Structure 1
Amino acid sequence: MSKIYLFLSLFLLLSQLGLTQNPILKKGEEGFLYAADPAAEVYNGKVYVYCSHDVDNAVNYSTMQDYLVLESDDLVNWKNHGVVLKPREYDWADGQMNAPDVAYKDGWYYFYFPYNKTHIGVAKSRTPVGPWEEAVTDKITTIFDPTVFIDDDGQAYIFGSDTKQDIGDKGRHIMGAKLKDNMLELDGPWMRLSEETVAEAVHCFKRNEKYYFMARKGWSTSYWMADSPLPTEPYAEYKGIITKRQIDAPTHMSAIEFKGQWYYFYQRGDVNNGSFWRRSACFEKLEFNDDGTVVPIEYTLNEGIKINKPISPIK
């Protein structure tokens, strides 16, 4: 009994400290799914992580066809809602369905999902977890790995990379565009935002009036900083690499502030008997130096989230 008491006391202590263990979902748990491409959002005091879904026997990404959501109010205890959106039920959406994102505006949650890899469809719901209904009957634009950001003034932006299809300048760059108030149409052309090329997985967030862009460059996550959400003259300033080289899965990330602390969500394929095509969502604390630059991120597993010490960013 004393061992059980000690275990329970330790568990409660870790919960109070806000520590967790990666990955978020663990193989063997009821309802386990491979949750990839985590797009974390904060709604109504809770964290919702919208993920693409790798099937158990995946040997490539062609079997990606639906989406799931995870929910937590403390980042320790997670509710797995399972698959909540199956876009192939819409007669206009088919093909490979990779990384999604969700944004909230005027009473609606908008679920942006790619089909045929780069065609962007949209579903909507009155709640963060659904049920979801068609918001459009065709693609709203073409981009790879869409992410949507709403600024403090209510203006919405969509970002991605032209990895699979050139939009404007040839090459793979961070791309951005305004969205109209209806959240379903572009309000102007796509604009190139980075001098440097990227592979995929663009993400944008704002902190202390600075705009941060993250993307996969090589086998790591790189980031850029800018004074505006569409930095075209000049482009966003490249700041360097902030994660180790990761070859078990392509880096795909998002970042949120929750209860005064920033967090970095990502995926890995070296857990849950996974692989490059069977990935699991994880997260770490995200720290910043005094000048706003990002502290390099240390991946953790099983021992809980570590607090990084401020050091100079990796170049």
Structure 2
Amino acid sequence: MYYSTRFLSLLLLAGFACSQPKETSEVITADSTASKFANAPLVEHIYTADPSAHVFEGKIFIYPSHDIETEVAEDDMGSHFDMKDYHVFSMEQPGAEVTDHGIALKLEDIPWAGRQLWAPDAAEKDGKYFLYFPAKDKQDIFKIGVAISDRPEGPFQAEPEPIAGTFSMDPSAFQDGEEYYLLWGGIWGGQLQWYEDQKLVEGRKGPTDGIPAPDQKAFMPYIAKLSGSMTELAEKPKEVLILDENGEPIKAGDNDRRFFEAAWMHQYEGKYYLSYSTGDTHFIAYATGDSPYGPFTYQGNVLEPVQGWTNHHSIVEFEGKWYLFYHDTQLSGETPLRNIKMAELTHLPDGKIQTINPMK
């Protein structure tokens, strides 16, 4: 979702495709930088990130976070990602005009929330639409909430309390037949490292407090089946194991492959695909399994690093083709001010995903 100037500087030294905030008042436009990017921004009138895409009512609907300029100081917990509302976008088909349906949910309309409306997702059941979103509560702890609408574009009405049993951030909804699941989790600013046995540990405050040693099992995302109402968990959350080629859990020091945030699930030809961001190494990686609960075996990368510190995505099928939605910083050159994009995604005959390069 985020992160700090200190980490950004380290990555620049390492040669990653990142960019610092510009020290000039010159306006950066998509046209002036388009030559090095493989795909154009979908939205240019506001900053958008973390796009969750779904096909509802025969159209592609996109549920991103809404980046804004803020006076909040940067830190390693992502406080400068101070988003305050959500917009919903739609397009009739890839390449068509993108419609901004306006504000779908505002921070002040969520009774339990204190700040930071980070990456959301959505689901539909029986003609109702459900927006799942993370926010810090009044004690500054991330929880996951849900809001409901009769329309895919909203507006959405938030439930008065967060979903019991949830913690951390980056909720992602997955439908498998008649069953619906919620995935979530993220380390560092996502606070997953502050929990043990799904309970908050007192005294953990920093981005690395509770992070395992490099040779220990990495943190994994969580999954739980949703109840029939779609507003509660139907079971205790379970850890989703991501394994290496030897069947061992990915280690915390395996930064190129370990889970950091942004879990997303899709199904293709009977296999379940779990994709996720590796965070400080900037890949969208993926693993495959035979059940939504896993275990999943690491397979490779969906997306190479983008310009900007963060990476967050979704994968959706539309009219027989698959698409990856992601973000970068083409419009602003600044990590907290991102723009959403899309690219066609290819599943290869052996079930692997052809890696996408976001740069030309």
Q: Extract unaligned runs of 5+ from structure 1.
A: 1-19, 27-31, 302-315
Give yes or no for contact 1:284–1:300 (8 Å, CA) kept in 2.
no
Query: 2:230 is aligned with what amino acid?
Result: M
Give the drift of 1:247. 5.1
- Give matches, 1:140-151, under 5 Å: 140=164, 141-151=166-176
Selected match of 2:183 from 159, 171, 194: 159
Query: Is contact 1:38–1:50 with CA below 8 Å preserved after alignment?
Result: yes
8 A contact 1:122–1:136 mirrored in 2: no
- Residue type at the aligned position of 1:23: P
Give the Cα–Cα distance (whole angstroms) in 1 for the partners of residues 303 and 170 of structure 2: 19
Paired AA for residue 119 in structure 2: A
Contact 1:118/1:145 (8 A) holds in 2: no
| Superimposed CA distance per residue, residues 61-110 of structure 1 (whole angstroms, 9 cap, x where no aligned partner) | 34212111111012221112232211322222122111000000122100
Residues 163 and 231 of structure 2 are in contact (CA less than 8 Å); yes or no, is this contact kept in structure 1? no
Q: In structure 2, how many angstroms separate the alpha carbons of the residues matched to 1:48 and 1:147?
A: 15
Contact 1:66 1:85 survives alignment (8 Å): yes
CA distance in 2, matches of 1:50, 1:199: 21
Q: Counterpart amino acid of 1:192?
A: E
Asked whether 1:168 is paired with 2:197, we answer: yes
* Aligned equivalent of 1:131, options 149, 155, 160: 155
Q: What is the Cα deviation at residue 172 of structure 1? A: 2.1
* CA RMSD, Structure 1 to Structure 2 (Å): 2.0
Residue 228 of structure 2: which of 175, 178, 181 is its match? Answer: 181
Specify the code of the residue in structure 2 equivalent to 1:146. Answer: P
Deviation at 1:138, TM superposition (A): 3.3
Mapped to 2, the partners of 1:113 and 1:24 lie a distance apart of: 22
Q: 1:129-278, aligned counterparts within 5 Å?
A: 129-140=153-164, 141-152=166-177, 154-163=178-187, 164-165=191-192, 166=195, 168=197, 171-193=218-240, 194=242, 195-196=249-250, 197-217=258-278, 218-231=281-294, 235-246=295-306, 248-269=308-329, 271-278=330-337
Q: What are structure 2's unaligned runs of at least 5 residues? A: 1-37, 75-79, 199-211, 213-217, 243-248, 251-257
Match of 1:11 in 2: none
In the TM superposition, structure 1's runs of 4+ consecutive aligned residues that sit over 4 Å from their partners are 57-60
Offset of residue 259 of structure 1: 1.1
Contact 1:162 1:175 in 2 (8 A): no
Q: In the alignment, residue 78 of structure 1 is paired with which amino acid?
A: V
Preserved contact between residue 170 and residue 186 of structure 2 (Cα < 8 Å): no
Q: 1:199/1:280 Cα in 2 relative to 1: closer, same or farther (>3 Å)?
A: same
TM-score w.r.t. the length of structure 1 is 0.81
Distance 2:125 2:117 in 1: 24
Preserved contact between residue 56 and residue 152 of structure 2 (Cα < 8 Å): yes
| 1:66 corresponds to | 85
The whole-number CA distance in structure 1 between the counterparts of 2:147 and 2:333 is: 29
Give how far 1:134 is off: 2.4
Q: Is the 8 A contact 1:22 1:300 kept in 2?
A: no
Over residues 19-54 of structure 1, what are the superposed CA-to-partner deviations in whole Å (9 max), with x where a residue is unaligned? x9511012xxxxx11011100010011000001111
State which drifts further: 98-107 or 159-168: 159-168
> CA shift at 1:273, angstroms?
2.0
SS in 2 for 1:203: strand
Partner of 1:115: 135
CA distance in 1, matches of 2:283, 2:197: 25
- The letter for the 1-side match of 2:326 is Y
Following the alignment from structure 2 to structure 1, what is the Cα–Cα distance between the partners of residues 228 and 355?
36
Larger RCO (CA within 8 A; separation ≥ 6): 2
Deviation at 1:167, TM superposition (A): 5.1
Match of 1:310 in 2: none
C-alpha deviation, 1:162, in angstroms: 4.9
Between the aligned partners of 2:46 and 2:292, the Cα distance in structure 1 is 34
Aligned residues: 272
Q: Secondary structure at the match of 1:185?
A: coil
State whether residues 36 and 280 of structure 1, in contact with CA within 8 Å, keep that contact through their aligned partners in structure 2.
Answer: yes
Cα distance in 2 between the residues matched to 1:84 and 1:229? 29
Q: Secondary structure at the match of 1:94?
A: strand
Provide the C-alpha distance between the structure 2 equivalents of 1:188 and 1:51, rounded to a whole number of angstroms: 27
